[in-house]
């Protein structure tokens, strides 16, 4: 990776407080923003936090990846009984030994499963969830159904800050690749917002500085003007922008992050120019994952990196088999490289979690697509220091809600299953929060021990 492939300039490091409110929020369910997070009720164990040294990549699968990717169990059943409105093709969905979808990166999952680098939870299920994207994204990226208007990442940062777990001089504690998603990062449930050193530093998707700028008549800088000829890397831009930010910026935190840009730049210079022990795929997911891992491996102060996985989303109401297979393969190739990178660096504390809006209907509709469903597969990679190796957890059955039209994967009778809010609780717990249910609206960490498995978290 060449040096200029990373965002190095000031605006690439702007805080989410300045960047994310510009995203469209029309589909988000309103919440009572005056309702504060119950952080005073949190029981925090700094010893667990320090012992684990957890570093997490959160990959949100926006639009909802089909559970077929991680569980093809029901496809043959549907084919044999002619249950789908449109017949499944003879080829294209071949099961691996453990029931992954071969053509959608299944062999990669088998490889990582075999060496204990992957835990698969096939029964992440919400019995009452709306199948609307906006509502479910809000719920699951906020990690609660109690109306606390705070993303998982921001909630975690608030707890760590209040308990003195991260030094105020920490660099890049919280990183967002390609903007991540503001719902993981929004900060609307506390009387005071996070200090700048805990707000996300944001990198663009291609790891290049895409911002151009121009000066307005009153001396302000306007960014994102793609017709401008002046570039951010102009020699005297840094000094000019510093002066302008001090004169015109209303957000102190943004000014603070501007003032730390040299420190960030020096760090990035180091990690960008070093060789890495693996070759990442030359895909969007590959470049994002490489950026995340270069930072995490070299900077234990970085606690969370968040991003979207599968660059064009997963809402495949048409052409689902072809689209899902290509996109999932690219994503799992990138994650395999990241896992091997972490292994080579001896970083068993780095873990990667994948989840999304929901799963998908198993009926193949007339456009060769899958509509929305309530069950999803959650993938948790790496983190051998933090997790027991459970392998594949959870059994499903096929539920025919409306003959031919509505076929769903649901937890089998007496099988272990959990609500999506338990993903957030598990993240909180690995960072030392002993009672994560107070932040999730009552849902605890993933723990299938009652069904004959070991606990997921080691402690």
Q: What is the pLDDT of residues 413-429, one digit of tens each?
A: 999 999 999 999 999 99
Instruction: Provide the greatest CA pair distance for the chain.
Output: 71
Taking residues 249-266, what's their average pLDDT?
A: 58
Q: Is the pLDDT of residue 366 over 50?
A: yes
Alpha-carbon distance 427 to 165, whole Å?
Answer: 16
Alpha-carbon distance 171 to 264, whole Å?
Answer: 7
Alpha-carbon distance 161 to 175, whole Å?
Answer: 16
Q: Is the CA virtual torsion 98, 104, 108, 113 positive or negative? A: negative
Specify the range with the lowest mean pLDDT, choosing from 132-141, 153-162, 173-182, 397-406. 173-182
Structure-token pair, residue 408: 């769903």
Name the average pLDDT for the chain.
84
pLDDT tens by residue, 388-405: 999 999 999 999 999 999
Alpha-carbon distance 440 to 38, whole Å?
Answer: 10
Q: Is the pLDDT of residue 212 over 80?
A: no
| DSSP label of 442 | S
How far, rounded to the nearest angstrom, does the alpha carbon of residue 440 sit from its chain's CA centroid? 17
Contacts of residue 192, Cβ cutoff 8 Å, sequence gap at least 6: none
Question: What pLDDT band is residue 214 in, cutting at 50, 70 and 90?
Answer: very low
Cα torsion 433, 437, 443, 447 to 10°: value is 40
Of 429, 426, 407, the C-alpha closest to 418 is 426
Q: Is the pLDDT of residue 217 over 60?
A: no
Specify the length of the chain in residues.
459
Alpha-carbon distance 260 to 414, whole Å?
Answer: 53
Q: Is the pLDDT of residue 12 over 80?
A: no
Query: Quick one: pLDDT at residue 245?
Result: 52
Query: Quick one: pLDDT at residue 229?
Result: 41
Residue 302 contacts residue 350 (beta carbons within 8 Å): no
pLDDT tens by residue, 49-75: 999 999 999 999 999 999 999 999 999
Say if strands 221-223 and 213-215 run parallel, antiparallel, or are unpaired. antiparallel
Could you give the percent of the chain with pLDDT greater than 90? 66
Q: Is the pLDDT of residue 152 over 50?
A: yes
Alpha-carbon distance 375 to 342, whole Å?
Answer: 30
pLDDT, greater one: 81 or 195 = 81
Q: Hunting for tokens 């969007």 — which residue is that?
A: 284
pLDDT, greater one: 228 or 100 = 100
In what helix (H) or strand (E) does residue 125 lie, and over which residues does it extend? strand 118-125
Alpha-carbon distance 290 to 306, whole Å?
Answer: 13
| DSSP label of 62 | T
């Amino acid at each position: 990776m060449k040096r200029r492939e990373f965002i190095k300039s000031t605006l690439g490091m702007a805080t989410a407080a300045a960047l994310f409110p510009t995203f469209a929020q029309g589909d988000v369910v309103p919440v009572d923003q005056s309702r504060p997070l119950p952080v005073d009720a949190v029981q925090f164990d700094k010893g667990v936090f320090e012992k684990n040294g957890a570093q997490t990549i959160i990959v949100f699968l926006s639009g909802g990846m089909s559970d077929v990717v991680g569980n093809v169990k029901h496809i043959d059943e549907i084919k044999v009984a002619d249950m789908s409105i449109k017949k499944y093709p003879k080829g294209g969905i071949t099961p691996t030994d453990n029931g992954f979808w071969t053509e959608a990166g299944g062999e990669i999952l088998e490889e990582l499963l075999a060496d204990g680098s992957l835990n698969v939870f096939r029964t992440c299920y919400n019995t009452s969830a709306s199948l609307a994207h906006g509502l479910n994204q809000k719920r699951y990226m906020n990690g609660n159904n109690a109306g606390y208007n705070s993303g998982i990442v921001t909630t975690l940062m608030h707890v760590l800050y209040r308990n003195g777990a991260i030094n105020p001089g920490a660099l890049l504690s919280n990183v967002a690749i390609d903007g991540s998603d503001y719902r993981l990062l929004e900060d609307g449930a506390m009387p005071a917002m996070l200090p700048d050193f805990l707000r996300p530093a944001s990198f663009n998707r291609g790891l290049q500085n895409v911002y151009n700028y121009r000066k307005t008549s009153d001396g302000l800088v306007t960014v994102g003007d793609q017709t401008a000829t002046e570039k951010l890397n102009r020699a005297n831009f840094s000094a000019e922008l510093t002066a302008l930010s001090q004169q015109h910026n209303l957000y102190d935190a943004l000014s603070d992050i501007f003032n730390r840009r040299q420190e960030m730049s020096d760090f990035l210079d180091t990690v960008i120019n070093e060789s890495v022990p693996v070759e990442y795929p030359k895909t969007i997911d590959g470049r994002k994952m490489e950026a995340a891992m270069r930072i995490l491996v070299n900077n234990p102060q970085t606690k969370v990196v968040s991003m979207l996985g599968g660059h064009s989303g997963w809402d495949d109401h048409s052409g689902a088999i072809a689209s899902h297979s290509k996109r999932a393969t690219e994503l799992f190739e990138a994650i395999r490289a990241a896992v091997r990178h972490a292994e080579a660096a001896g970083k068993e504390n780095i873990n990667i979690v994948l989840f999304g809006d929901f799963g998908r209907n198993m009926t193949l509709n007339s456009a060769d697509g899958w509509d929305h469903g309530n069950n999803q597969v959650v993938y948790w990679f790496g983190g051998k220091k933090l997790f027991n190796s459970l392998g594949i957890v959870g059994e499903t059955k096929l539920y025919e809600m409306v003959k031919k039209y509505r076929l769903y994967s649901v937890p089998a009778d007496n099988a272990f299953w959990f609500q999506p809010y338990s993903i957030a609780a598990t993240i909180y717990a690995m960072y030392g929060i002993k009672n994560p249910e107070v932040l999730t609206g009552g849902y605890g960490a993933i723990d299938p021990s009652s069904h004959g498995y070991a606990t997921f978290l080691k402690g």
